[in-house]
Amino acid sequence: MTAEQQDEQPQIDDYIAPAPRISVQAFCASVATATTARAAAEDRRLAKAHLSVHMGGIAAAIEAYHKAPTPNVIILETEPGTDFLAGLDDLAAVCDPGTRVVMLGNAADVAPYRELVRRGVNDYVVGPVKVLDIVRSICSLFSATEAVSVGRLIAVAGAKGGVGASTVAHNVAWTIARDLGLDSVVIDLDLAFGTAGLDYNQDPVQGIANAVFSPERPDTAYMDRLLAKCSDHLSLLAAPATLEQVYDFGADAFDAIFDTMRMTSSCIVLDVPHQWTAWTKRTLVGADDILIVAEPDLANMRNTKNMMNMLKAARPNDRPPLYCLNQVGMPRRPEIEVKEFAKTIESAPIATIPFDSRLFGEAANNGQMIAEVSARHRTTKTFLQIAHRLTGRPDLAEQRGSLLTPILRKLQGQRDGRRKAAG
C-alpha cells in the first residue's frame, strides 16, 4: 500500500446497519436541528424508515400524542432553560408501550444520564448534532438489540465490461471468508452470464433466480436452501447462466433478498453486472461499501469518474466508493499511468492488480481462487488488503509493523551514530 493510499484510508470503520421499516417522529426546538433531521431522512440507511420532522420540542410532542398514537421512535430536542425531565414525565403519560425515545441535548443540560434512563430514554446525543448522529442513533436502537439487518453489503462492479470485476469479487469474498473468518455469501447478480459457479467449481441447481422469481417474500429458511456451500465460511447464491428467459427487473426486485441475507450472514458480496438499470443503480447506492474495478485506459477512467461522482452525490453521508485497477501492465497495450488515473479520479486506487494471463487463466479453468493456485503470489496479498479495506477490519500484521517502526528507526539511528563515531 502506498503512502497516498494510507493517507486516504479512514482511521476507524464507521459501519451503521440500516434501520428496519419503522416510523420516526422528530420534535425539534431549533431550525438548524430540524434541517439536519430532514437531511438524515434522505440517508440510504433510513430508506425503509418514515421520518417526519416537527417543531416545538417536547411540548409539541406531548400535545400531539394526546390525540394520536406514538411512533416506533420519538426524537426530542431539549430547549435551554426548560425542565425537560418534567416534560419527559408528562410525555410518559401519553406514550405507547414499546416506543423508543432519543434525546438531542446540549452542553447546558445538567440532568444525570441515569435520570434519563430511568424515564425510558434510549439514547442521548449532545448537540450540535450532525446528520450521521441522527442516523446512527436511530439505527443502533434496532441493530444492537434485535435480529435485524446487520450483515455488511459489499457491491463490486466493473467500470467497463470485461475488466475482471467478477474475478476480483469472487477472490475477495473467498479471502474474507477464509482469512478473516467471516460468514460470507456471494450473490451473482449476472443471471444470464454469471461466472461465480464456474470460479468456485460449483453447479447448484438453485440460486438467485429462484429467489427473485419467487411469488412469496423469501425468508431465512428458504434462502438457506438456495445457497451452495463453497467452504466453511463461504456460500454462493449462483446465477442460472442460461438464456431461456430474459431478466428484466424492477428497481426493488432484490431488496427482500438482500434484507434476508443480512440477517444471517456477516458479509454479503454482490457481483454486480456491467449494466445501468434502475436495480443496478439501487444496488450500488444501497450497499454499505462499493468497489469499482477498472483497467488503466481512457474509457475506464471516464466511467470510473462518472460512477464515483454519481455515488458520492447519492451517498453524501458515506465514505466515498473505492476503486482498484486490474490487469495493469498488459504487454504492448498503451496504458494510462496510475498517477494520472488517480489525478483524474481525485483519489488513489486501493490496489493495482498486475496482468498475469497464466495465473488467472489457470485459476479460471480449474475453478480455483488465485490463492489456491499460488498462495505466495503478490496478487494473493493484494486481495487480502482489499478484503481488509472493504470489511473495515484492520490488518493486524500491518498494524504491528507500524507500531514497531518508530522503535526500529530509533535503533537504526543509534547504529548509524555509532558508525559515524567509530569512523
Categorise residue 293: left if φ over 0, alpha if ψ from -120 to 50, beta otherwise.
beta
Residue in this structure with the C-alpha cell 443496478, named with its chain if needed:
280
Residues 6+ apart with CB under 8 A from 90: 58, 62
Q: Where are the alpha helices (DSSP H) in 127-219?
A: 131-143, 165-179, 196-199, 208-212
Q: What is the rounded CA–CA span in Å between residue 170 and residue 336?
A: 26
Taking only the tens place, the pLDDT of each residue in 90-143 is 888 888 888 999 999 876 665 666 777 777 888 988 878 999 999 999 999 887
State the pTM of this model. 0.83
Q: Residue 148 pLDDT > 60, yes or no?
A: no
Quickly state the pLDDT bin for 79 (edges 50, 70, 90). Answer: confident
Q: Residue 6 pLDDT > 70, yes or no?
A: no
Please give the pLDDT value at position 17.
87
Q: List, in sequence order, every beta strand (DSSP E) within 264-398.
A: 267-272, 289-294, 322-328, 351-354
- State the average pLDDT over residues 310-317: 96
Residue in this structure with the C-alpha cell 431539549, named with its chain if needed:
78
Taking only the tens place, the pLDDT of each residue in 155-194 is 999 999 999 999 999 999 999 999 999 999 999 999 999 9
Q: What is the rounded CA–CA span in Å between residue 2 and residue 20?
A: 39
Q: Residue 247 pLDDT > 80, yes or no?
A: yes
Q: Which stretch of 106-115, 289-298, 400-409 has the lowest confidence by average pLDDT? A: 400-409
pLDDT > 70 fraction of the chain, expressed in percent and rounded: 87
Taking only the tens place, the pLDDT of each residue in 251-277 is 999 999 999 999 889 999 999 999 999
Please give the pLDDT value at position 31.
95
Q: What is the mean pLDDT of the chain?
A: 88
